[in-house]
Amino acid sequence: MDAHIGAIDAVSSASNAVGALPASHSPTVFPPSPPPGRRPPSVATSPPPRPDRRRRHLLRPRRLQPHPARPAHCRARAEQRRLLQRAQCRVRRRGYARARGIGACVVTFTVGGLSVLNAIAGAYSENLPVICLVGGPNSNDYGTNRILHHTVGLSDFSQELRCFQTVTCHQAVVNNLEDAHEEVDRAISTALKESKPVYLSISCNLPTIPHPTFSREPVPYILSPNLSNRLGLEAAVEAAAKFLNKAVKPVLVEGPKIRVARAGKAFVELADASGYAVAVMPSAKGQFPEQHPMFIGTYWGAVSTTFCAEIVESADAYLFAGPIFNDYSSVGYSLLLKKEKAIIVQPERVTITDGPAFGCVLMKDFLRALAKKLKRNTTAFENYQRIYVPEAPAVNVLFRHIQTMLSGETAVIAETGDSWFNCQKLRLPKGCGYEFQMQYGSIGWSVGATLGYAQATKEKRVIACIGDGSFQVTCQDISTMIRSQQRSIIFLINNGGYTIEEEIHEGPYNVIKNWDYTAFVDAIHNGDGRCWTCKELLEWGARVSAANSRPPNPQ
């Protein structure tokens, strides 16, 4: 789907260098006017401007389709609302970006920017487009040798920018209005094109100053889509089809980069046409419909879904679409796969076994073209059906009940840790979302991600599985969930410490102080909500199930 953003509707400035001083150091300042919730940080509120000036300010909303790049439930300081912890803005907007395709966060210069840096790095590793908007120093302070608060105490204001250079695909410092319009549009478009976070620092005094480039409604323009090299695409499809059509029991495995390549539908088309058995890598769970007739489960080496590893590793050809083979997903690089049997399809590159590689070939184009060239072969899936034995109901009572709660109107978020493994065993109904952070693995990310995801998909009920160690890192976001009247359900697994770390390396540092979690939530909601016990939850689930299973009324 093409995305539209505000176009550059003015002539470029003669001074368009990032970090340049404004043309005038004594601009006329008018009252601020951006719409509510869209003001930059570090700008004090004041009465609204005259109507004729309302359309001339820097942070007027951009037209961004299909989804707006609005801050993921993080309010600017212009509204006189401060975040309880700036670092939490990070994971909120990551959850929002996972659900809506793009997110944004608004933070204070340096003290807020460096707090959010860890989350921006996580977004970079997970290929999530996020706009990190920073309220920078007053444009008149650049080059003056002044020392400002919220900084490290040096007159050089570039420390934050240098930190963000390694974890964002684009950085811009806007401290003059001549090229501000262009810089803002370029940052948004780069985030969308690269599917990576961008850094945008705007001097705190600029949004109150009218400028001709913001004098009218932004003109939408279409981001030019990437195109496959036609000859390279044809050669890659021919080589892959020749290899797969000779195989006796080929399989398909979907990886997490399917999302960034926007190739999910193309992969399903390939599965339908080929008849191959289909598995997913653990970090791709939820991206392929688990009701598909050829689905065999999660391929995760020694900890795969029952019988899935046997089918994948015994295949004489496997096509991996968008894989990431890190130490987590490869179970310590122990996968029993052979390079000479594998076709690796990345978002813009196809590698055929240990032979040729084809660049400038888009994954979705390749998969759709390949689907038309393959002979139908169901051998691997038939082998799976022969050895498959239905699993007994889950021994874990909690996850057995969670399974019954899942529907197309729910989404599951699994925290880093033992919830990874337990949630992998859940069978997702059609339309049920699923998110977890396997590449970056930052503990505590799921609390804020639950908040952001629920804010972005209000039609779904988010069910989060979180360990006590991770919960204690980021638990204050529960307060914002209650204030926002969200319907999320958090299952807190009280392990008395960091269970997965204890499995890796035992030590007293893995034991944490046990909290009275019910009392904690009681203190947060302060009469505005309720904390359900397991008994109440099961009673609620039974009543809802009974209500939903009522037969039609007789006509």
Q: What percent of the chain has pLDDT over 70?
A: 76
The pTM (predicted TM-score) of the whole model is 0.79
CA nearest neighbour of 472 among 420, 527, 510: 510
Please indicate if the annotation marks 495 as binding a ligand.
yes
Q: What is the DSSP string of 277-289?
A: EEEE-GGGTTSS-
DSSP letter string, 52-80? GGTT--TTPPP--BSS---BSS---GGGT
Q: Which residue has tokens 């309880």?
A: 84
Give the integer Cα–Cα distance in Å for 430 and 290. Answer: 7
CB 434 within 8 A of CB 412: yes
Question: Contacts from 227-231 at CB under 8 Å and sequence distance 24+?
Answer: 227/362, 228/360, 228/361, 228/362, 228/365, 228/366, 229/359, 229/360, 229/361
Find out whether 455 and 37 touch, Cβ atoms under 8 Å.
no
Q: What pLDDT is attached to residue 521? A: 84
The DSSP code for 95 is H
Report which of residues 161 and 536 the model is more confident about.
161
Give me the pLDDT at residue 452, please.
92
| Mean pLDDT to the nearest integer, 409-413 | 96
- In single-letter form, the type of residue at position 168 comes to T
Whether the per-residue pLDDT at 338 is higher than 60: the answer is yes
Q: Is 510 annotated in some ligand binding site?
A: no
Which residue segments constitute the domains of the chain, with CATH numbers given?
A: 4-222 (3.40.50.970), 230-387 (3.40.50.1220), 397-548 (3.40.50.970)
Q: Are 285 and 411 in contact (CB under 8 A)?
A: no
User: Is it the case that residue 216 has pLDDT exceeding 80?
Assistant: no
Neighbouring C-beta atoms of residue 326, cutoff 10 Å: 13
Average pLDDT estimate for 71-91: 39
Q: Are 529 and 520 in contact (CB under 8 A)?
A: no
Q: What is the helix (H) or strand (E) element at residue 89, kind and residue range?
A: helix 86-100
Give CA–CA dist 419/436, Å, rounded. Answer: 9
Q: Which stretch of DSSP H or E encloses residue 450?
A: helix 445-456
Instruction: Give mean pLDDT, residues 39-60.
Output: 43
| Confidence bin at 509 (pLDDT 50/70/90) | confident
- pLDDT at site 117: 95
SS (H, E, C) 490-534: EEEECCCECHHHHHHCCCHHHECCCCCHHHHHHHHHCCCCCCCCH
Given pLDDT bands bounded at 50, 70 and 90, which one contains residue 53? very low
| Tally of CB atoms within 10 A around 143 | 12
Q: CA geometry: angle at 533 spanning 531 and 539, to 5°?
A: 115
Phi, psi of 78, deg, nearest 5: -60, -25
**Is a pLDDT exceeding 80 seen at residue 551?**
no
Average pLDDT over residues 233-252: 98
Dihedrals φ, ψ of 95, to 5°? -65, -40
Q: Residue 245 annotated as binding?
A: no
DSSP letter, residue 212: G
Over its C-alpha atoms, the chain yields an Rg (Å, rounded) of: 26
Residue 316 scores a pLDDT above 60? yes
Q: Work out the mean pLDDT of the chain and round it to a whole number.
A: 82
- Cα dist from 442 to 48, 314, 453, whole Å: 42, 34, 17
Is 76's pLDDT higher than 90?
Answer: no
User: Which is more confidently placed, 400 or 269?
Assistant: 269
pLDDT at residue 310 tops 60: yes
